[in-house]
Structure 1
Amino acid sequence: MKIIGRSGATIYEAEARSIKELVESAVKGWVNLKCADLRDANLAYVNLDGANLIGADLRGADLIDANLIDANLIDANLRGANLAYANLEGVNFRGADLRGADLVGANLWEANLEDTNLDGADLRGATLSHANLKNTNLNRANLKNVKITFAVGNSKEIKSILNTIYPITYTKDQLAIGCEQYSMREWKNFSDREILKLDGKEGLKWWKEWRDFLFLAIDKSFEYEDTI
C-alpha cells in the first residue's frame, strides 16, 4: 500500500492490511507525512502521536478516538473530519481548516488553534483548557459544555480577561475563573459560603471586589458584539 502526497508523489510504501496500519507504520518510522493525501481515510483509534502532518489533506477522514498528541497539523485540511473523542493534546492546528469537523468530547488541552477555521464545528463537551484560540473562526460552532479554563479566547465567541489574579475565560453561558468553571447562572447565584469553599478567604475577598464589575464587563462585551 502507498501513501500519496497531494502532488501525486509517493510518500511512503509498505505492506499493510489497512490504511490505518500503513499510517501507523509510517509514524513509527518517523516518516514525514507532510502534505499526505488521506482524504476519507478510516483512521479511527489510530495512534499518530507526534506525527508531522503539515498541510495534509484529511478531509472527511474518520479519526474518532484517535491519539494525535503533539502532532503537527499546521495548515492541514480537516474539513468535515470526525475527531470525536480524539486526544489532540498539544496539537498545532495553526491555520488548519476544521470547518464542520466533529470534535465532540475531544481533548484539545494546550492545542494551538491560532488562525484555525472552526466554522460550524461541533465542539460539544470538548476540552479547550489552556488552548490558544487567537484569531480562531468559531462562527456557528457548537460550544455547549466546552471546557475553557485558562484558554486564550478569540475575543468573540470565547473571551478572556487576563489582568486579574485569576485568569478569566468565558462564553455567553459559561464562565471559568482560574481552575473553576460553572455556568453564568451558577456563578451569579453562588453564596459567599459557596465561594469560600471554592477558594478560601482570599478568593471570597476577590469575589466581593470583582463580582459586579465582572458581570457588567461580560454583559457589555457581548452587547458590543451584537452591535457590530
Structure 2
Amino acid sequence: MDKILEQHKIWLSSGGEEGNQAYLRNANLSSADLRDAYLIATDLSGAYLRNADLSGANLRGANLARTILPNSTFIIFGEKYFISICGYCVRAGCQCHSVNEWRQFSKRDIFDMDGKNSLKFYPRLLDIIDFYCGKGERPEWLKEQNND
C-alpha cells in the first residue's frame, strides 16, 4: 500500500507525467492504516474501508461511490472548503485538526489559514462540527464578535 500511495503522490505532483494514479476500486482495505494519506483523486469506488483509520486523510476529489467507510466518517460537499470528518479529526480545505483544536483556535490562527475567507467560514465550520460531533464550546473571540 505504501508503494501505491507514494506513486500516487508522484503522479499528482507531476500532473500525471510520472508515477501512477492510485486505483483502489473494490479493494479490501479493512483495518488499513491510512492516517494522513494523500488520496486526492483516488478511485476508491466500491472499496471496503470499514475499520480503516482515515484520520487526516485527504480525500478531496476521490471517487467514493459505493465505498463502505468507517463508522463516524463523513464527507461534506457543497461548502466553500472540502470537509471530511473521521472520528474526531476534521479536515477543512488543507487544514486537518482535532475537533478540540478547531474549537480553540485564536482569531489569528484562523486568519493565517486563508485570510478573511477562513474567518468568514469559521462559524459555519463550527456549526458543521457541532452537527456531526456534538455541540461544543466556541472561542471567546467568536462569542464577542457575535455580540457586536
Q: Counterparts of 1:101-116 in structure 2 under 5 Å? A: 101=32, 107-116=38-47
Aligned to 1:187: 102
Aligned to 2:84: 169
How far 1:203 moved relative to its partner? 1.9
Aligned to 2:49: 118
Q: What is the aligned-residue identity percentage?
A: 29
TM-score w.r.t. the length of structure 1 is: 0.43
TM-score w.r.t. the length of structure 2 is: 0.62
1:105–1:193 distance in 2 versus 1, CA, 3 Å: closer
Q: What amino acid is aligned across from residue 112 of structure 1 in structure 2?
A: D
Give the secondary structure class of the aligned counterpart of 2:3.
coil
1:67–1:206 distance in 2 versus 1, CA, 3 Å: closer
Cα shift readout 1:1-38 (whole Å, capped 9, x = no counterpart):
xxxxxxxxxxxxxxxxxxxxxxxxxxxxxxxxxxxxxx
What CA distance in whole angstroms lies between the structure 2 residues aligned with 1:66 and 1:129? 18
Aligned to 2:12: none
Q: Counterparts of 1:1-228 in structure 2 under 5 Å? A: 65-67=2-4, 69=7, 90-101=21-32, 107-121=38-52, 123=53, 127-130=57-60, 131-139=62-70, 156-208=71-123, 210-219=124-133
1:135–1:164 distance in 2 versus 1, CA, 3 Å: same
Task: Identify unmatched segments of 5+ residues in structure 2.
Answer: 9-18, 135-148
Give the secondary structure class of the aligned counterpart of 1:90.
coil
1:165–1:128 distance in 2 versus 1, CA, 3 Å: closer
What CA distance in whole angstroms lies between the structure 2 residues aligned with 1:169 and 1:106? 13
Q: Which has the higher helix share?
A: 2
What CA distance in whole angstroms lies between the structure 1 residues aligned with 2:56 and 2:120? 32
What CA distance in whole angstroms lies between the structure 2 residues aligned with 1:213 and 1:107? 26
* Larger relative contact order (Cα-Cα within 8 Å, sequence gap ≥ 6): 2
The structure whose Rg is larger is: 1
Task: Identify unmatched segments of 5+ residues in structure 1.
Answer: 1-62, 71-87, 140-155, 221-228
Give the secondary structure class of the aligned counterpart of 1:66.
helix
Residues paired across the two proteins, number: 122
RMSD between aligned residues: 3.2
